[in-house]
Amino acid sequence: MPFSIHIGPNIRTSPYFEATVADGVRSFSVYNHMYIPGSYGDPDGEYDRLINGVAQWDVAAQRQIELRGPDAETLMRFLTPREIAGTRVGQGRYVPICDADGMLINDPVMLKLAEDRFWLSIADSDVELWAKGLALAKGLDVAVFEPDVSPMAVQGPLAEDVVASLFGGWVRDLKYFWFRETDLEGIPLVLARSGWSKQGGFELYLQDGSRGVELWERVKAAGTPFHIGPGAPNDVERVESGLLSYGADARRQTVPANPFELGLGKLVDLDRPDEFVGKAALKRIAASEIARRLTGFFVDGAPVPGIPAPLPVLMADRQVGTITEMIFSPRLERTIALGLIATEIAEIETGLTVEVAGETRRLGLSALPFLR
Ligand code: THG
């Protein structure tokens, strides 16, 4: 590459930044205005550790937005179409956030820390300003701010052994998306069973940004007997697993999509008696045919790296869908993709193509996930 992106004040660094540099990070992306490691120069090894071993990811760019105060729950309920009433303190939930047109604008994990205190662990869009604006306009008594919290993910089939060796056997009984506030020899953190892969694992939400390198080193040392290594949210595994990526499969500015199209319809409760952002629009959308749906694609031939998605899916020169990410699956030994397809042709298996680097590739459809 004849260019680079420099380290400067417009993009924040994570508390784990120096540790990831020491561990050989080779590329970053930018997520929530923060550098996020993308690779350490060994894609096969990084994938293998996630599928068969254990990997350590700097996901501090999954920033937290805290809602705290008497109206925290009222604001939380207004922000999401999901019914969250049954959620217990210590429990997390996946909560879509929509705009007034019913389009997805983020898909955070919500953590209920107390009856009047929530975190939203956000994907790549500015939820803090959105939530602050709504609270202000509605006159709610709630503080909305970004606390000093930076998640690190430990993912893979051996993640539980590593985390149990650090925190004790109780972590083995932690249910999916549940968490506990604890510490690691004085380093304050929230430990959750969660993470952006289907290989199992935990997230350590560091609550003191000055101790990131220390936490990284402790996890790395505990993982050494299990051959832990650095990695990052993995596009290959997430496409195989059909895990949604806000920013790739949907983004307000580039791939506008509603939760029904994205397979999140079960998380939209239109029978709720109270108001929430997007309710009227979502009712309208639900009352008509859903135009597109998220699907898997099989792609003829090898993937061409660096193809900028989204790519139009064609049928006889008419666009009938969009590929949002294409990768080569080592386990399926073929090129696969995620994207949206028009509902009326979602059952048709023939005649679909995509243009990749000037070549026409044939496409087949696949149910999701490709692999469990
Ligand atoms: N962990 C934390 N914060 C995050 C993510 C994370 N913020 C950004 C991004 N990821 C938010 N998006 C997602 C998307 C999917 C899931 C979690 C966060 C996920 N989905 C499961 C699935 O699709 O099978 C389960 C969803 C469900 O309960 O229905 O885990 O990863 N801290």
List CB contacts of 93: < 8 A, sequence separation 6 or more: 82, 84, 87, 109, 110, 112, 177
Helix (H) or strand (E) holding 366: strand 359-366
Asked if residue 218 is part of any domain, the answer here is yes
| AA identity, residue 118 | F
Our answer on whether the CB atom of 121 is closer than 6 Å to any ligand 1 atom is: yes
Mean pLDDT of the chain: 96
- Asked whether the beta carbons of 317 and 324 are under 8 A apart, the reply is no
Helix (H, G, I), strand (E, B) or coil at 281: helix
Protein residue with least CA distance to atom 16, ligand 1: 196
Q: Determine the distance separating the centroid of ligand 1 and the alpha carbon of 161, expressed in angstroms.
A: 22
Q: For residue 90, what is the DSSP state?
A: T
Q: pTM for this one?
A: 0.97
- Asked whether the beta carbons of 183 and 189 are under 8 A apart, the reply is yes
Asked if residue 227 is part of any domain, the answer here is yes
Asked if residue 301 is part of any domain, the answer here is no
- Scan for tokens 């149990």, then name that residue: 164
Q: What is the pLDDT of residues 303-349, one digit of tens each?
A: 777 778 899 999 998 999 999 999 999 999 999 999 999 999 877 77
Q: To the nearest 10°, report the CA torsion of 351, 249, 319, 302.
A: -40
pLDDT number for residue 345: 87
Our answer on whether the CB atom of 195 is closer than 6 Å to any ligand 1 atom is: yes
Residue 98 has phi, psi (to 5 degrees) of -120, 160
- What are 200's two structure tokens? 């199992």
Q: What is the pLDDT of residues 146-156, one digit of tens each?
A: 999 999 999 99
Q: Which atom of ligand 1 is nearest to the CA of 246?
A: 12
Answer left, alpha or beta for residue 240, where phi above 0 means left and psi between -120 and 50 means alpha.
alpha
Query: Which of the listed residues 64, 66, 121, 239 should we mutate to test ligand 1's pocket, taking the one with most ligand atoms within 8 A of CB?
Result: 121
Q: What is the pLDDT of residues 32-67, one digit of tens each?
A: 999 999 999 999 999 999 999 999 999 999 999 999
Asked if residue 244 is part of any domain, the answer here is no
Residue 55 sits in a domain whose CATH number is 3.30.1360.120
- Burial class of residue 1, CB neighbours in 10 A (0-12, 13-18, 19+): exposed
| AA identity, residue 144 | V
| AA identity, residue 308 | P
Q: How many CA atoms lie within 13 A of 282 on its CB side?
A: 29
Mean pLDDT of 274-296: 97
Query: Which of the listed residues 29, 94, 190, 241 should we mutate to test ligand 1's pocket, taking the one with most ligand atoms within 8 A of CB?
Result: 94
Asked if residue 111 is part of any domain, the answer here is no
Asked if residue 215 is part of any domain, the answer here is yes
Query: Which of the listed residues 109, 120, 127, 199 should we mutate to test ligand 1's pocket, taking the one with most ligand atoms within 8 A of CB?
Result: 109
Q: Determine the distance separating the centroid of ligand 1 and the alpha carbon of 195, expressed in angstroms.
A: 6
Our answer on whether the CB atom of 151 is closer than 6 Å to any ligand 1 atom is: yes
Asked if residue 31 is part of any domain, the answer here is yes
- Asked whether the beta carbons of 322 and 311 are under 8 A apart, the reply is yes
Asked if residue 314 is part of any domain, the answer here is no
Our answer on whether the CB atom of 123 is closer than 6 Å to any ligand 1 atom is: yes
Residue 331 CA to residue 195 CA, distance in Å, equals: 21
What's the N-to-C CA distance of the chain in angstroms? 36
Give the domain range for residue 183: 17-63+149-238
Percent of the chain with pLDDT strictly greater than 70: 100
| AA identity, residue 221 | A
Number of compact structural domains in the chain = 1
Q: What is the pLDDT of residues 177-206, one digit of tens each?
A: 999 999 999 999 999 999 999 999 999 999
